[in-house]
Every structure is written in structure tokens, then in C-alpha cells.
């Protein structure tokens, strides 16, 4: 029986990722910046707080425009109401069969297994979501999955599914394995980038030992996120035979230069990861300052195709509420 309310992963010696920054001033002190160097800084975000592990902050430069800092630093512009930006931009609530279970696309079901994340990214499309209580509904979820013979793949999402401890994930996967028409298990996680130590031997054993084909989809938006320790952990997992993919979000001031995108693809491939998706920004309330004009984005992708072999060019896509699949762009 899977427990009703699982604990979260604690990491080696119970200290994953080192210190966790939850105050803007502490994070800026850590990287050697002062609040007056950040225009439009929001020192006390009200509803979506700061959360940044020191393991990620250590990769930031002493630069107010650092692309890693920009992804996590709250700004006053997040409070502006912008037309077309909503709290549920991809219609997760509409796709919910029962709390914690989403079915949007043919053959696939998504489980929001936890609301916890290792890091709060300011462009997160679920930043306003009140996470449903999946665990009390597990038996009902398994019943729906078992009854729908059209499903062949289950996606673990969140929050971040790798915030669950190994034993909890093993119990959940074991229950999914009992549904005979399921073939694949996909895990979407930021943890391999934020806390590379999460890719431990026990987790690898669980995934490699499953009858379900496991795919790990990480998220790195900038090559500086792929530190030596991250690259080593991912390369080791790829050598075990696991399929590793990356999805990024195109973000103004972070990766909206062709040189950055090309370097990211090259670095990913060196770590054994294929660039999978480059998402257009989901128009979630509070994220408009990350938007890249579509004309500029088309130029970027055209230049990227001219620089790289096709297998290193991610598919540029947009998720549209109610569509039968992610919509290709460009």
C-alpha cells in the first residue's frame, strides 16, 4: 500500500543541495550583489516565494543580469496584470480526470505526484496551482488508468516527482507496472540539474529494473546550469542505458541568443542528453517579462538550424489549451 502522505527526499546525510535560500537579500549576499543593483527587485514576494539551493546559486556569476539568477529572482513586474496571461495558461484544471490525474493527449496520462520543488522558477506555469491531494486518490487513479486501454505511457510530474524518496517512487512504479497496457514511464524533473546527487544508484536500479521503459526528461535552460558535477551525474546515467532528454523554455534575458542555445545543445549532447523541446513561454500570470517576440524566436531557430546538425536542434513548440498535442512552431 502506497502511503497517504509521503515524505520528501532528504539526500545524502539528509542535506540535499546544501543551504536553501528563501530570502532575496541572503541570495544576493551569497553571490556578491546588493539590492540596489537589481532594477525592479521584489524583496518580499507575496504568493510565490524565493527558493534556491546553494548548489544552484554557486553557478551564478556576480552579475545582476546573470541568466541563472534571472530565472529565480522575484521582480516587481510579476505583480503586473498583463492581458493574455492567466493563472492556468495550459488548462490543467480542464484536463483533470480526478485530483492529481491529468489526461490531455492520446495515449498518455500525467500524475502530479507532489507539489514540492527543489527550486522556484519564476516562469513556472504551475506557480499559481493549488496542488490536488493525489495520494488519498491513488486507488481511484489506478482504477482509471487500468480501465483506459488507450493509455501506454504515464508521466510523473509535479512539482517535481524526484522530490519523493526512492522507496515511495519504487512503490508507485510497482503499482503502475501492474497495469499491463502501460509500456513507458516518463519522469519530468529539474532535480538532476539542481541537485545532481539525486541521481543515485538506488534510483537507477528502480528505473532499470522496471518492466516499463523509463525516460528521464530534465530541464536546463542555459549551459551554465550544466556544471561539472551535473554533467558527470548525467553522463553516468546515460552510460547505464537510460534515455535522457532535455526540455527548455525560451526566456528573454536567459537564453534568447543563438550562441547560448547552440552551446546548450552541445553541452547537453556531451552529457549524453538529446535536446527535446524548446518551449515557447506559457503565458502564466507574473511571467510576461520573460516573453520573446515570435519574430525574434523564429530568427533564433533559423540560425540554430544553420549552425547545428538536426539532432541537436530542439523542437520549438507551444502548449495550447485544448489542443490534441503540443503545437510545432517555426
18-37 pLDDT per residue, tens: 789 999 999 999 999 999 99
Radius of gyration of the CA atoms of the chain, in A? 19
- Residue ranges of the chain whose pLDDT lies below 70: 1-6, 11-17
259 phi and psi angles, rounded to 5 deg: -60, -40
Q: Check whether residue 36 and residue 136 sit in a common domain.
A: no
The pLDDT value recorded for residue 321 is 83
Same domain, 56 and 172: no
Last residue of a domain, one of 54, 79, 104: 79
- pLDDT at position 16 is 60
Residues 152 and 229 in one domain: yes
92 and 53 part of one domain: no
Contact between residue 66 and residue 223 where contact means Cβ atoms under 8 Å apart: no
For residues 68 and 95, state if they share a domain: no
Q: Order of strands, edge to edge, in the sheet holding 274-279?
A: 96-98, 101-102, 108-114, 153-158, 184-189, 213-218, 243-249, 274-279, 315-318, 327-328
Is the same domain home to 166 and 253?
yes
Beta strands in 5-73 (DSSP E): 20-21, 52-53
Q: How many domains does the chain have?
A: 2
* pLDDT, tens only, 127-151: 998 877 778 899 999 999 999 999 9
The parent domain of residue 30 ranges over 14-79
Q: Does residue 4 form part of some domain?
A: no
Q: Which of 79, 110, 132 finishes a domain?
A: 79
- Is 1 a member of any domain? no
- pLDDT at residue number 5: 58
The predicted structure's pLDDT at residue 233: 97
Grid coordinates belonging to 205: 536500479
Assess whether 92 and 212 both reside in one domain. yes
pLDDT digits (tens, 9 = 90+) for 79-120: 999 999 999 999 888 999 999 999 999 999 999 999 999 999
C-beta neighbour count of 209 within 10 angstroms:
11
Whether 9 is covered by a domain: the verdict is: no
Residue 6: inside a domain, yes or no? no
The answer to whether residues 37 and 113 belong to one domain is no
Q: Are residues 157 and 287 in the same domain?
A: yes
Domain assignment present for 255: yes
CATH number at residue 152: 3.20.20.70
Task: Using alpha carbons, select from 239, 307, 309 the residue that is nearest to residue 272.
Answer: 239
**pLDDT value of position 4:** 55
Contact 290, 281 (CB under 8 A): yes
Assess whether 153 and 187 both reside in one domain: yes
User: Do 198 and 95 sit in the same domain of this protein?
Assistant: yes
Same domain, 144 and 271: yes
Last residue of a domain, one of 60, 79, 98: 79
Amino acid at each position: 500500500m502506497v502511503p497517504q502522505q509521503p515524505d520528501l527526499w532528504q539526500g545524502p546525510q539528509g542535506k540535499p543541495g546544501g543551504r536553501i535560500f528563501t530570502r532575496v537579500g541572503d541570495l544576493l549576499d551569497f553571490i556578491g550583489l546588493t539590492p540596489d543593483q537589481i532594477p525592479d527587485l521584489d524583496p518580499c514576494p507575496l504568493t510565490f516565494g524565493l527558493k534556491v539551493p546553494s548548489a544552484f546559486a554557486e553557478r551564478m556569476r556576480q552579475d545582476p543580469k546573470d541568466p541563472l539568477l534571472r530565472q529565480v529572482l522575484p521582480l516587481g513586474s510579476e505583480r503586473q496584470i498583463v492581458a493574455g496571461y492567466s493563472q492556468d495558461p495550459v488548462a490543467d484544471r480542464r484536463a483533470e480526470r480526478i485530483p492529481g490525474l491529468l489526461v490531455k493527449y492520446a495515449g498518455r496520462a500525467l500524475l502530479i505526484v507532489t507539489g514540492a520543488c527543489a527550486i522556484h522558477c519564476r516562469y513556472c506555469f504551475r506557480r499559481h496551482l493549488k496542488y490536488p491531494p493525489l495520494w488519498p486518490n491513488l486507488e481511484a487513479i489506478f482504477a482509471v488508468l487500468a480501465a483506459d486501454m488507450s493509455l501506454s505511457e504515464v508521466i510523473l510530474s509535479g512539482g517535481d516527482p524526484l522530490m519523493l524518496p526512492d522507496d515511495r517512487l519504487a512503490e508507485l512504479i510497482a503499482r503502475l507496472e501492474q497495469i499491463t497496457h502501460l509500456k513507458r514511464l516518463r519522469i519530468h524533473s529539474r532535480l538532476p540539474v539542481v541537485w545532481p546527487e539525486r541521481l543515485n544508484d538506488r534510483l537507477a536500479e528502480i528505473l532499470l529494473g522496471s518492466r516499463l521503459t523509463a525516460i528521464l526528461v530534465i530541464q536546463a535552460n542555459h549551459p551554465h546550469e550544466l556544471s561539472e558535477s551535473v554533467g558527470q551525474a548525467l553522463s553516468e546515467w546515460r552510460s547505464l542505458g537510460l534515455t535522457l532528454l532535455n526540455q527548455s523554455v525560451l526566456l528573454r534575458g536567459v537564453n534568447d541568443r543563438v550562441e547560448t542555445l547552440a552551446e546548450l545543445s552541445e553541452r547537453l549532447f556531451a552529457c549524453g542528453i538529446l535536446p527535446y523541446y524548446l518551449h515557447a513561454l506559457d503565458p502564466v500570470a507574473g511571467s510576461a517579462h520573460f516573453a520573446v517576440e515570435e519574430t525574434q524566436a523564429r530568427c533564433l531557430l533559423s540560425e540554430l538550424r544553420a549552425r547545428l546538425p538536426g539532432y541537436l536542434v530542439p523542437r520549438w513548440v507551444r502548449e495550447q489549451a485544448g489542443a490534441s498535442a503540443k503545437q510545432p512552431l517555426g
